[in-house]
A and B are shown apart, each in its own frame.
Chain A
Amino acid sequence: MKKLLLFLIAASIVTPVIGDAQQRKTLRKQPARSSVMSGNSREATLRNQLSNALRMAQGGQYESAANALFSLSRRSELSAERPQIKYILGTMLVELKLYQTAAFQFVDVIRMKHPKYSKMAIEKLSVVADTLGDDTILNYAVSRVDLNDFPANLRDMINYRLGEIRLRNRDFAKAAELFSKVSSTSSYYFQALYSKGLAELEANQTSLAIGTFRKMLDARHKAPVTDTNKVAAQMGLARALYQKQDWDLAVEAYSQVPRDTLMWHDAVFEQSWAMLRGARFRSALSNFQTLHSAYYEDFYMPESLLLRSIVYLYICKYDEMEKVLSLFEKTYGPVRAKIGDFLKSTNEAGAFYNELEKAHVMKTTDKSANLRLPYIVLRSVLDQGDVKRSMNYLEKLNQEKRRVESNSSFRASALGQYSLKIIANRSKNTKFAIGDMAKAHLLNMRVELRDLYEQAGFIRYEMITGRKESIKKKIAGKDISGDQIDENVNRKFYIENGYEYYPFQGEYWLDEVGNYHYLGKQSCE
């Protein structure tokens, strides 16, 4: 890549010199007028400056070269060379790791529709946008890509990004096809494989998806247990099995998700659904003991409470059911109200972003903040893929800003000021975009909570009916009486096998999370 850059710069040095010589020849034929002479000498000086800038670029003096090229790119006398100057300026900025500023140069070149440099700029822009993770630029670049013109080593990235766009547009078959074009040697291979599995699941091709996730697992079998790709593949496999309604295998697949990974929390919740569908109520209730422990007080999981109450309904535990439904209303009633109030009070994206930013600080540091929205809601929004991605992009912009500001001479230069201005603008727009995303998620949450509240109403109705029947049986002497905890468990088996076994007494320990076992008996006749 560097060799290519040097070649381009060398070629660029030669080109203006030839151009200059040709102009000189032409000038000899023209009458010697003073104004023309002075114009020509200015142009000659500029071309000399350009040659110097390109020489500096070739010599690895990227900062000086970038400054010089930036100033030359604004000269009207060099309008013919502008695509070339901007392109090389962009490559200099890439070398300086100022990706956002570089991206703007490449976008300018693409807009100039130069036969040579526009294509090259698309290629560069794709790489820069990929590094930044900026969807807007990425879409802009990728939509202009002609894969045939693209270097083979970058085709995997483009196929992957194009697949992502197709997946977002719900063109699942095309997305899967594009993902499958990513070669196994590419750094995008595992992401592409995972996304292919997702696309297949979305297209309801569960068997294909299972195959894809198994392939990914096989390919990562030598990776550490907590390897992100390996865990994602395991999770994907479990979800595919669930979608296939193979409950037992899904439960088994979810239990293979390692506990010391972030995905484990989702795995426990989703496994509970599989357990419920597989009629493993006791196991589902064991999971709920984990999910509703104090460790999850910051997690937004309204559905899990309703699910727990349904399991209690299955085993006729109406008192427990009542407690869980009350907990649902006590926890999510205020959440619902606050979301509604906030959505009514403001429509500004900035206000939504500010709330998220405060929550982000709370999540990543020990600082507290005054939030208008509940923390569990904001934490959940922060975990959404689109928000996460944009927050990462924002962080990249901040890094770039710090890079500019840490170099005082560059900061003071025209290019430095220009960079800061671009970064500030992009940051502002990204914050607004994140705010809009947050608003969309909040609207979804409000709808979801409204639906769940309705379902809670139905479940409560069933609880009252069940309770009534239970009382009738009690009066008729047909109820199940006696211990509500199964004491027939022989502790010896567990102790002999290296386990500890003791009753839960209200406190939650980090090393116990995930190891609870429900021992209540069913109360149905």
Chain B
Amino acid sequence: MLKNGFKAALIIVLALMLHKAAFAAEVVNLPTEELAQESVLPVFDKPVSVKNRNVVTQGRFEIDGFYGYAMTEPIANVSKLGLGLYYNSSENHAWGLIVAKNFAGLSSYADQLNQQFQLDFNRAPAPEMTIMGDYNLKAFYGKMSLTKSIVFNTQLYGSLSAGAVKYVHKTYPAVAFGIGQKFYFTKQWAFRFDLRLYAHQAPIPFLNGKLKPNQPVPDYGDFQERVTYTTNLDVGLSYLF
């Protein structure tokens, strides 16, 4: 008891003697010898990349709102708006449903064709809606610093989807795969970017002798079908709860 009291008293006296010298300068200059000199990692029994994560997703739901841009769509309107709902079964896997509604009208390219060659692609069937079940494999959780005081957590994931694309006259089964990245600007909110390649059967909008105004209006069934690949970029906001 006395020994410990003496020890503590000694340390405290030492503190009083030293504290002024220790904080003589108010401006912090980190000693350069204390800055990182090695790029190796410390050794632990069971090393893990991150502990006490800021963004914990396991067992939580996530709702997304996004704008979709069909990068390789020549005729139909390239824009769509969508909603997604995901359940994160672990820090590595998430399962969800995405529904997107296409904008009506045509692409700017189709408008040009109409102006130059009087081809009315409004006669061709266009996609109306997409509904997909989506699986996300969350591969990398990370973080990036933008300024002295701003740090983002990031999540890079792969996605695999299966569902359907509904055209005005018919619904086609579809599959898609891609990669995505989330930037968490709070522990709940994130910007979400998804790049997906869709593959599905779809009508070919080009039909000889049926697209000009003076030509007979075709039935949707007149359009031939083929497997179509469309690259989509979705940009949205995600909320984790």
Distance A507 CA – B151 CA, assembled complex (angstroms): 11
Cβ B41 vs Cβ A510 within 8 A? yes
Shortest Cβ gap from B40 to chain A (Å): 4
Shortest Cβ gap from A77 to chain B (Å): 57
Distance A497 CA – B23 CA, assembled complex (angstroms): 25
Cβ B35 vs Cβ A500 within 8 A? no
Cβ A282 vs Cβ B38 within 8 A? no
Check B227 for interface membership: any CB of A closer than 8 A.
Answer: no
Q: In chain A, what residue has the closest Cβ to B149?
A: A503
Check A23 for interface membership: any CB of B closer than 8 A.
Answer: no
Shortest Cβ gap from A193 to chain B (Å): 24
Question: Which residues in B have their C-beta under 8 angstroms from that of A455?
Answer: 4, 7-8
What are 25 A-B contacts with C-beta separation under 8 Å? A252-B33, A255-B37, A259-B40, A259-B42, A281-B22, A282-B22, A293-B51, A293-B52, A295-B42, A451-B4, A458-B8, A462-B12, A486-B27, A494-B30, A497-B35, A502-B145, A502-B151, A506-B52, A506-B54, A507-B143, A509-B143, A510-B41, A510-B42, A510-B44, A510-B47
Stretch at the interface among A207-215, A390-398, A511-519: A511-519
Distance A316 CA – B22 CA, assembled complex (angstroms): 12
Task: Give the contacting residue for A522; candidates B11, B23, B52, B149; CB below 8 A.
Answer: B23
Shortest Cβ gap from B90 to chain A (Å): 16
Cβ A259 vs Cβ B30 within 8 A? no
Question: Which residues in B have their C-beta under 8 angstroms from that of A488?
Answer: 26-28
Task: Give the contacting residue for B148; candidates A260, A486, A502; CB below 8 A.
Answer: A502
Stretch at the interface among B13-21, B62-70, B100-108, B162-170: B13-21
Question: Which residues in A have their C-beta under 8 angstroms from that of B35?
Answer: 494, 497, 499, 515
Cβ B5 vs Cβ A262 within 8 A? no
Cβ B12 vs Cβ A313 within 8 A? yes
Cβ A258 vs Cβ B40 within 8 A? yes
Question: Which residues in B have their C-beta under 8 angstroms from that of A513?
Answer: 41-42
Distance A508 CA – B47 CA, assembled complex (angstroms): 12
Check B113 for interface membership: any CB of A closer than 8 A.
Answer: no
Question: Which residues in B have their C-beta under 8 angstroms from that of A313?
Answer: 12, 15
Distance A163 CA – B143 CA, assembled complex (angstroms): 52
Q: Looking at chain B's contact residues, is the secondary structure mostly helix, strand, loop, or mixed?
A: loop
Shortest Cβ gap from B240 to chain A (Å): 15
Distance A507 CA – B55 CA, assembled complex (angstroms): 9
Cβ B19 vs Cβ A281 within 8 A? yes
Task: Give the contacting residue for A507; candidates B3, B5, B50; CB below 8 A.
Answer: B50
Check A363 for interface membership: any CB of B closer than 8 A.
Answer: yes
Question: Which residues in B have their C-beta under 8 angstroms from that of A510?
Answer: 41-42, 44, 47-50
Question: Which residues in A have their C-beta under 8 angstroms from that of B34?
Answer: 255, 283, 286, 517
Distance A521 CA – B9 CA, assembled complex (angstroms): 24
Cβ B51 vs Cβ A260 within 8 A? no
Check A154 for interface membership: any CB of B closer than 8 A.
Answer: no
Cβ B26 vs Cβ A294 within 8 A? no
Check B226 for interface membership: any CB of A closer than 8 A.
Answer: no
Question: Which residues in A have their C-beta under 8 angstroms from that of B27?
Answer: 486, 488-489
Cβ A524 vs Cβ B19 within 8 A? yes
Cβ B4 vs Cβ A521 within 8 A? no
Q: Which 8 A-B pairs have the closest CB atoms?
A: A502-B145, A458-B8, A294-B51, A260-B40, A279-B18, A522-B23, A454-B4, A314-B15
Interface size class of B (residues with CB under 8 A): 35 or more
Which of A465-511 touch B at CB < 8 Å? 486, 488-489, 491, 494, 497, 499-503, 505-511
Check A280 for interface membership: any CB of B closer than 8 A.
Answer: yes
Check A384 for interface membership: any CB of B closer than 8 A.
Answer: no
Distance A142 CA – B9 CA, assembled complex (angstroms): 48
Shortest Cβ gap from A353 to chain B (Å): 20
Task: Give the contacting residue for B50; candidates A364, A489, A508, A515; CB below 8 A.
Answer: A508
Question: Which residues in A have their C-beta under 8 angstroms from that of B4?
Answer: 451, 454-455, 458
Cβ B145 vs Cβ A315 within 8 A? no
Check A310 for interface membership: any CB of B closer than 8 A.
Answer: yes
Cβ A314 vs Cβ B30 within 8 A? no
Check A459 for interface membership: any CB of B closer than 8 A.
Answer: yes
Distance A486 CA – B150 CA, assembled complex (angstroms): 16
Check A358 for interface membership: any CB of B closer than 8 A.
Answer: no
Check A265 for interface membership: any CB of B closer than 8 A.
Answer: yes
Cβ B8 vs Cβ A508 within 8 A? no
Shortest Cβ gap from B135 to chain A (Å): 26
Cβ A255 vs Cβ B52 within 8 A? no
Cβ A314 vs Cβ B28 within 8 A? no
Check A300 for interface membership: any CB of B closer than 8 A.
Answer: no
Check A45 for interface membership: any CB of B closer than 8 A.
Answer: no
Check B31 for interface membership: any CB of A closer than 8 A.
Answer: yes
Question: Which residues in A have their C-beta under 8 angstroms from that of B45?
Answer: 298, 363-364
Q: A253-280 interface mask toward B, CB cutoff 8 Å, 1 = contact, 0 = none?
A: 0010011111011000000000000011
Q: In chain A, what residue has the closest Cβ to B153?
A: A507
Apart from the given pairs A458-B5, A507-B50, 10 other A-B contacts in the complex at a CB distance below 8 Å: A255-B33, A255-B34, A281-B23, A298-B45, A462-B12, A494-B30, A502-B150, A503-B148, A503-B149, A513-B42
Distance A509 CA – B54 CA, assembled complex (angstroms): 11
Cβ A507 vs Cβ B12 within 8 A? no
Shortest Cβ gap from B189 to chain A (Å): 15
Question: Which residues in A have their C-beta under 8 angstroms from that of B52?
Answer: 293-294, 506-508
Q: A283-315 interface mask toward B, CB cutoff 8 Å, 1 = contact, 0 = none?
A: 100100000011100100000000000100111
Cβ B42 vs Cβ A279 within 8 A? no
Task: Give the contacting residue for A517; candidates B8, B30, B46; CB below 8 A.
Answer: B30
**Max chain A CB contacts within 10 Å: which of B28, B49, B143?**
B28
Question: Which residues in A have their C-beta under 8 angstroms from that of B33?
Answer: 252, 255
Cβ A315 vs Cβ B50 within 8 A? no
Task: Give the contacting residue for B28; candidates A252, A486, A499; CB below 8 A.
Answer: A486
Question: Which residues in A have their C-beta under 8 angstroms from that of B1?
Answer: 454
Distance A522 CA – B44 CA, assembled complex (angstroms): 33
Shortest Cβ gap from A9 to chain B (Å): 48
Q: In chain A, what residue has the closest Cβ to B49?
A: A510
Task: Give the contacting residue for A282; candidates B28, B43, B48; CB below 8 A.
Answer: B28
Q: In chain A, what residue has the closest Cβ to B5?
A: A458
Q: A353-371 interface mask toward B, CB cutoff 8 Å, 1 = contact, 0 = none?
A: 0000000000110100000
A522-B19 contact in complex given A261-B43, A502-B151, C-beta closer than 8 Å: yes
Q: In chain B, what residue has the closest Cβ to A268?
A: B42
Cβ A489 vs Cβ B43 within 8 A? no
